[in-house]
Amino acid sequence: MKALFVLLLAQFCSASLVPEREKDPEYWRRQAQETLRNALRLQRLNQNVAKNLILFLGDGMGVSTVTAARILKGQLHGQGEESLLEMDKFPFVALAKTYNTNAQVPDSAGTATAYLCGVKANEGTLGVSAGVTRDRCNTTKGQEVTSILRWAKEAGKAVGIVTTTRVTHATPSAAYAHSANRDWYSDGEMPPDALQGGCKDIARQLVENIPEIEVILGGGRKYMYPKNVSDVEYPHEEKQRGTRLDGRNLVQAWHEAKPRGKVAEYVWNRRGLLALNLSRVDFLLGLFEPGDMMYELDRNNDTDPSLSEMVSVAIRMLQKNPRGFFLLVEGGRIDHGHHEGKAKQALHEAVELDRAIGLATRLTSTQDTLSVVTADHSHVFTFGGYTPRGNPIFGLAPMQSDVDRKPFTSILYGNGPGYKIVAGERENVSAVDFAHADYQAQSAVPLRQETHGGEDVAVFARGPMAHLLHGVHEQNYIPHAMAYAACIGSNRGHCNTAARPATPLLLPFLGLLLLLC
């Protein structure tokens, strides 16, 4: 009876939370008609050639994460469920199937190979076909596949990578590396047989494979320096020291690989980044942490730039190229927050990625810039419990369990580190600070690390040829569609003016011309 009373009370309270305008049926009718008018305008397809391409990748940003991040963003601005993410404003939405060639529930390396290189691959492998077995260096040769970043570079465009993880992590490294193991960040992480077999570590490939990447921003300093070299920011912390066994300083090697007469700048903190005169910089490398960058909620505003700040710098750098650019932007720590069961960290990372999307929108034009937002995979993250309108996204459900008579948070995980038994029973969450940034939400199955989810992920698109992302696709379709829009890569037969289909706006005029002829 108590649980029923709580539920009825919640329903009564939720009724009082309904905005007055939403009680009027005309509000919803007007809203629907405006949406309809916007949809009808989409019949005038943008078939321009995309000068610029931006791929925003929310690592682990499944649909439930997108929805929860929307609510969080709204609540941070005094709104709620009705608010819009920047990605919600993109007119075309598709679903991508995320499985790896050997995995129903994928990992970030195999998926990155799909949405960057256009080829599905085995879990744990980067920039190679499914003919490569994880950890087997000797299966790599001849199986390398190239990425849309390389296609753009070969077409004369500027290219860049921005991430909140290590720049050698799974997502960014698939843009430039070919590896049988995503964890071979430096040669210090590689087994002897792989080194003897001639395989290169990922940090070395970053410097050598495509040496003229104009912008590289993220974390991962320690993989660039010799073993035991102290870190510039954490000189007394042993775990932050260099990891390389070959004795090379790859930051120095990065400098030396640049063409004579070009200006290459390396920065390691926010002040150095924001002080740059970008008009005088040709190549930029920014490594702001020894490993991954800090969570946005924990970020030191003096030393570490936000994702939005890095994206702003990257776009302004890349826009100097008259042929346009390709930029990969990864909100990589959404994934880490979920793995740790820390939903608050994960969702704030997603909100920051969305902020970066909005900034990029203001710095570019939909007439010549194709922007795509997607995820590599989902997580076993959910929120529910019949919460009333306006319920804090990190709050409690309005009822207790009708089995163990304890309250529960709306946010839960299918598995992960939040599984806790106290005195033989599920932990009573009302006794803990469940709104803390590092609170680990309860999970059904105990695991040290929460796992990925296997469902499809959303793909949002806006700009030239965005309508090509329109239904349910294999994940490896994404770079092919983007390359087609930009006339880069191997499929360029449509790129002369005669081959480009006419837009619906031009069709009546073409018909009139034919009649006159």
Q: Residues annotated in the binding site, as ranges?
A: 59, 169, 171, 330, 335, 339, 376-377, 452
Rounded CA separation 21/140 (Å): 61
Residue with tokens 């837009």: 503
Q: Specify the DSSP class assigned to residue 493.
A: T
Candidates 14, 16, 108, 410; catalytic one: 108
Rounded CA separation 165/184 (Å): 15
Q: Are 173 and 203 in contact (CB under 8 A)?
A: no
Q: 3-class DSSP state for residue 316?
A: helix
Residue with tokens 């390691």: 268
Rounded CA separation 74/349 (Å): 15
The alpha helices in 258-377, defined as continuous H runs, are 270-274, 307-318, 333-339, 343-363
Rounded CA separation 404/426 (Å): 8
| For helices 108-117 and 477-486, angle between their N-to-C axes, nearest 10 degrees | 30
Task: Output the known binding site for Zn(2+).
Answer: 59, 335, 339, 376-377, 452
Query: Which amino acid appears at position 440 of this protein?
Result: Q
Q: 3-class DSSP state for residue 167?
A: coil
Task: Output the known binding site for Mg(2+).
Answer: 59, 169, 171, 330
Closest listed residue to residue 223, CA positions, set 206, 237, 198: 206
Quick one: residue 317, left, alpha or beta (phi over 0 = left, psi -120 to 50 = alpha)? alpha
Residue with tokens 């793909």: 459
Q: Are 69 and 379 in contact (CB under 8 A)?
A: no
The answer to whether 279 is a known catalytic residue is no
Q: Specify the DSSP class assigned to residue 431.
A: G
Instruction: Determine the length of the chain.
Output: 517
**Structure token pair of residue 399:** 């009822």
Query: Which amino acid appears at position 72 of this protein?
Result: L
Closest listed residue to residue 253, CA positions, set 214, 188, 204, 299: 204
Q: Among all residues, which ones are annotated catalytic? A: 108
